[in-house]
Structure 1
Amino acid sequence: MSEPALAPRNALVGVVVVWATAFVATVAVGIFVAEEWRVPWMLVVFGGIVLLSFAVQLWYGHTQGFIFRVASSVTGALLLMGLISIGFGIAALLPS
């Protein structure tokens, strides 16, 4: 017979970790990568975020809600990366 977990990990922490990583990586790409290479590097970062999301949710160790947690991590990261990319795109259009 299996014993129930006394203090299960909070699933929301994993989602927030993925979002924070997406934020930091997107800002780093926007600052350190030349304009013509930003889109390819954003795709690389998003691929890494998807893999990180799977890894974090597998580490969580519960099957219930796995798809929902991964989907919310990836969707939130995609929206966050899109908003930051829009900001960098508008900044690139402004004359310096």
Structure 2
Amino acid sequence: MTSDPLPKAAAKGTVSAVWGFALVAAVLIGIFSHPDRDGAWLSLSLAASVVIALCIQLATREKRGFVTRLASSVSGALVILAVATGAIYLIH
């Protein structure tokens, strides 16, 4: 029994969900976090992004493109949180 590959729209949705989480986390950290704790919360949100990306990609049960989708999810979250780190430290 062979399964059909994950449709492109679904693959993009799994990646963008992690990016969306990272963006929402960055905004919430920027708004609510104490300036002394920004770095800790941003690191924690990156770790959570990795775990969420793994869970989402494993939930698809599609092994074709797994590494590419996981790498895209995590690297995008890393870029989002890196930009947010710079912006938060400039603001605070």
Compute the TM-score of the two structures, normalised by the length of structure 2.
0.89
Q: How does 1:47-86 map to 2 (within 5 A)?
A: 47-86=47-86
Between the aligned partners of 2:52 and 2:32, the Cα distance in structure 1 is 22
User: How many residues get paired?
Assistant: 91
One-letter amino acid matched to 2:37: W
Per-residue displacement from partner, 1:33-61 (whole Å, max 9, x unpaired)? 10000101111111110000000111111
Larger Rg: 1
Tell me the percent identity: 29
One-letter amino acid matched to 1:27: V
> Are the aligned partners of 1:11 and 1:60 in contact in 2 as well (CA < 8 Å)?
no
RMSD: 1.8
Structure 2 residues without counterparts, runs of 5 or longer: none
Compute the TM-score of the two structures, normalised by the length of structure 1.
0.86
Per-residue displacement from partner, 1:5-62 (whole Å, max 9, x unpaired)? 4985721100000000100011111111100001011111111100000001111111
Runs of 4+ aligned structure 1 residues displaced above 2 Å come to: 3-9
Between the aligned partners of 2:5 and 2:39, the Cα distance in structure 1 is 45
State the Cα distance separating 1:75 from its structure 2 match: 0.4
